[in-house]
Amino acid sequence: MKITVAGTGYVGLVTGVCLASKGHQVTCLDVDEEKVKTMQKGISPIYEPGLSELMQEYMDNLTFTTDYTDAYKDAEVIFIGVGTPEKSDGSANLSFVYQVAKQIARTAERDCVVVLKSTVPIGTNDKIEQYIHDKQIHDCRIYVASNPEFLAQGTAVRDTLYASRIVIGTDEKYPAEVLMHVYEKFDAPKINVGRRSAEMIKYASNDFLALKISYVNEIANLCETVGANVEEVTLGMGYDKRIGNHFLNAGIGYGGSCFPKDTKALSWLASFNDKEIRTVKAAIEVNDSQKLKLIKKARKYYDDFLFLNVAVLGCTFKPGTDDLREAPSLVNVPLLLEDGAYVRIWDPVGTENFKKRIPNGKIKYCDTIEEAITDADICFIFTEWDEVCNFDISKYKKLMRRPIVMDGRNCYALEQFEGSGITYGSIGRKTINSTEE
């Protein structure tokens, strides 16, 4: 089919490339001319494992452009995959979605199905459909369908090609048939529901996972107090099929483009309708507090960080991506700098984005973990990169001025630090070789 995808971020570009790999002719549209020129060369502008390779393999099925008139006028299906960032009140900013809808209304010349891939509040599909019909110029039928994404950064290509489910939200037969045809070569369960149910499935799914993470982190914090080991606790929990073992890893909170935004958006939507989802509200509060867990632990060893050399390992919100949105590093590093620390950061892919988010000339960016920890007074681990998990821990003792490692992702087994002379603090487990002053 002839498909256009509006937006070439994580959702839009991954969707477009994966659809092209199934034989569709896909036009990827973006307003950024430099970004489009990069993609026209077969280069992905975002770091996502496997995406560049898949893009290059199916370039014959891909077109990249900034010309929305040409992209929309004869497309059979138009996916909207633009951003819906949160506003200051927690609600979703739909301005980019409406901008695309307005362009479609003015340029579409044939019957087509507009598919909202972006995460939007419940009822948005109805409003977008009415908006398009009100502003439509040409004599054609434009349908609107919901098709939420369930991809995770770092595994987005796999999550799209081998989806756990494909949710098709329609209130009419024709757009449902079109989307079933679009996805006929995708080997995944296809669920056809109403549009509002599809919108809610996205929020309900993400918020449930956020709840699970926050719950486990609260259990982890209590484990530290009562002397239990959260990894042993979650091991026992995970064998219960009703619970499962996914999203039971204790840490310093969730981040990224989905969970923080979607929990706040659903909480706002409930409040707007004079309702309250207390569990989601609590998850947001727990997560905000959890991000500061390591700083609080470190206060046992230093009253402040003035003139201390502080190593930071990992600044992205999780491994496998260069995305920093809602990453714990964005909260912690400014606090360290404000306290007078000399901060040295190592991350395999995220430092360039970090420089843009925290433009501070006092931060030193390191090429290796060894460089970051040399002469450090304390080391914080914010991202569980493989390079960190497989690091020779004896180097912490050998290279650091004072070997104190605060691990926010439980990268190591406690046994590795027994008798090592390294103070090792983690989440939901006892501290090894504590040297509190």
Which residues are marked as active site? 258
Compute the distance between CA of residue 291 and CA of residue 251 in angstroms, rounded to an integer: 9
In angstroms, the CA 344 to CA 349 distance is 15
Cα 9 to Cα 5, 324, 404: the distances in Å are: 11, 14, 38
Q: Provide the residue type at 147 as one letter.
A: N
**Could you tell me which residues come within 8 angstroms of residue 25 by beta carbon, excluding any fewer than 6 positions away?**
1, 2, 3, 61, 63
The crossing angle, in degrees rounded to 10, of helices 124-135 and 95-107 is 40
Tallying the residues shown for the chain, one arrives at 437
List, edge to edge, every strand of the sheet that includes 364-366.
364-366, 342-346, 309-313, 378-381, 404-407, 423-425
Which residue bears the tokens 């509190």? 436
CB 300 within 8 A of CB 333: no
Going by C-beta distance under 8 Å and a sequence separation of 6 or more, which residues neighbour residue 364? 342, 343, 344, 345
Maximum Cα–Cα distance across the chain: 77
What tokens appear for 41 in the block? 């060369």
Q: Are 395 and 376 in contact (CB under 8 A)?
A: no
With 0-12 CB in 10 A as exposed, 13-18 as middle and 19+ as buried, what is 179? buried
Please say whether the beta carbons of 294 and 332 come within 8 A. Answer: yes
* Residue that the structure tokens 């304390």 belong to: 378
Let me know the angle formed at the C-alpha of 196 by 191 and 200, rounded to the nearest 5 degrees: 80
Burial track 331-349 (b if 16+ CB lie within 10 A, e otherwise): bbbeebbebebbbbbbbbe
**Angle separating helix axes 195-226 and 259-272, nearest 10 degrees:** 110
Closest CA to 223 of 379, 389, 393, 410: 410
Residue 232 CB contacts under 8 Å (≥ 6 apart), including other chains: none
